[in-house]
Chains A and B, each alone.
Chain A
Amino acid sequence: AQSVAQPEDQVNVAEGNPLTVKCTYSVSGNPYLFWYVQYPNRGLQFLLKYITGDNLVKGSYGFEAEFNKSQTSFHLKKPSALVSDSALYFCAVRGPSMDTGRRALTFGSGTRLQVQP
Chain B
Amino acid sequence: DSGVTQTPKHLITATGQRVTLRCSPRSGDLSVYWYQQSLDQGLQFLIQYYNGEERAKGNILERFSAQQFPDLHSELNLSSLELGDSALYFCASSPGTFTDTQYFGPGTRLTVL
**Which positions in A face B, CB cutoff 8 Å?**
32, 34, 36, 42-46, 49, 51, 90, 98, 100-110
Which A residues lie within 8 Å of B92 (CB)? Answer: 44
Interface of A is mostly: mixed
Instruction: Kindly report which residue of chain A lies nearest to residue B91, judged by CB atoms.
Output: A43
Cα distance A43–B91 in the bound complex, in angstroms: 9
Is the pair B31, A36 in contact by a Cβ cutoff of 8 Å? no
Is the pair B48, A34 in contact by a Cβ cutoff of 8 Å? no
Taking the closest CB of chain B, its distance from the CB of A53, in whole angstroms, is 11
The 3 A-B residue pairs with the shortest CB-CB distance, nearest first, are A101-B55, A107-B43, A104-B45
Which B residues lie within 8 Å of A45 (CB)? Answer: 2, 104
Which B residues lie within 8 Å of A101 (CB)? Answer: 48, 50, 55-56
Is the pair A46, B101 in contact by a Cβ cutoff of 8 Å? yes
Cα distance A110–B100 in the bound complex, in angstroms: 22
Is the pair B56, A104 in contact by a Cβ cutoff of 8 Å? yes
Is the pair B90, A100 in contact by a Cβ cutoff of 8 Å? no
Taking the closest CB of chain B, its distance from the CB of A60, in whole angstroms, is 12
